[in-house]
């Protein structure tokens, strides 16, 4: 059985390869280990990545103004 990290890496790769939404095909994938610890007890959900922050750095809530 795969461990949690391997499963997350598989999910990240699958999400990055998805081409079902044409509007998002040119955007950078932001689902990665840069999002934080898999063992976290709290998760913040934000809007789509911005061109100055998460799209470039792959780190959510960075660079762009987030509300």
Judge whether residue 30 has pLDDT over 80: no
Q: Is residue 65 part of a domain?
A: no
Categorize the per-residue pLDDT at 46 as very low, low, confident or very high, splitting at 50, 70 and 90: low
Q: 10 and 2 in contact (C-beta within 8 Å)?
A: yes
Q: Is residue 66 part of a domain?
A: no
Cβ-Cβ contacts under 8 Å for 33 (sequence gap 6 or more):
8, 9, 12
Alpha helices by DSSP H, the chain: 4-17, 54-57
Categorize the per-residue pLDDT at 6 as very low, low, confident or very high, splitting at 50, 70 and 90: very high
Q: Is residue 30 part of a domain?
A: yes
Q: Is residue 18 part of a domain?
A: yes
- Rounded CA-CA distance 7/60 in Å is 21
**Domain count for the chain:** 1
Q: Tell me the residue range of the domain where 15 lies.
A: 4-57
Categorize the per-residue pLDDT at 7 as very low, low, confident or very high, splitting at 50, 70 and 90: very high
pLDDT of residue 10: 93
Q: Is residue 62 part of a domain?
A: no
Categorize the per-residue pLDDT at 18 as very low, low, confident or very high, splitting at 50, 70 and 90: confident
- Residue 32 corresponds to which tokens in the numbers above? 């990665």
- Rounded CA-CA distance 14/27 in Å is 15
Q: Is residue 44 part of a domain?
A: yes
């Amino acid at each position: 059985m795969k461990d949690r990290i391997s499963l997350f890496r598989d999910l990240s790769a699958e999400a990055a390869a998805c081409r079902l939404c044409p509007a998002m095909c040119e955007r950078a994938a932001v689902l990665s280990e840069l999002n934080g610890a898999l063992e976290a007890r709290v998760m913040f959900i934000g809007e789509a990545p911005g061109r100055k922050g998460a799209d470039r750095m792959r780190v959510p809530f960075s660079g762009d103004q987030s509300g």
